[in-house]
Amino acid sequence: MSNERASSVNADQETAIRQLANDLHRLNHAVMKAVDAGVSVELVRSARHHGGEGNWGDLMVPVIVKG
């Protein structure tokens, strides 16, 4: 994490960022396993979640195509 971001996030935000990074790592691993098993995977934004204070995040769904 950059020093600039480290000074601008609180402990709860830092925990959420680390959890997101870990979950994305697992997602990427699952995508690679699916590709190695013979399917193509595209992640598509299905919605955008708004937190009510100007924060937002994209929600994703996989589109699977058998190879």
Flag whether pLDDT at 50 surpasses 80: yes
Which pLDDT tens digit goes with each residue over 21-32? 999 999 999 999
What's the pLDDT score for residue 35? Answer: 96
Tell me what pLDDT residue 3 has. 56
Q: Say whether 23 sits in a helix, a strand or coil.
A: helix
Which pTM value belongs to this model?
Answer: 0.79
Number of domains in the chain: 1
Question: Long-range contacts of range 55-62, CB-CB < 8 Å, 24 or more positions apart?
Answer: 62/31
Structural domain span for residue 24: 3-66
Mean pLDDT (the chain, rounded): 92
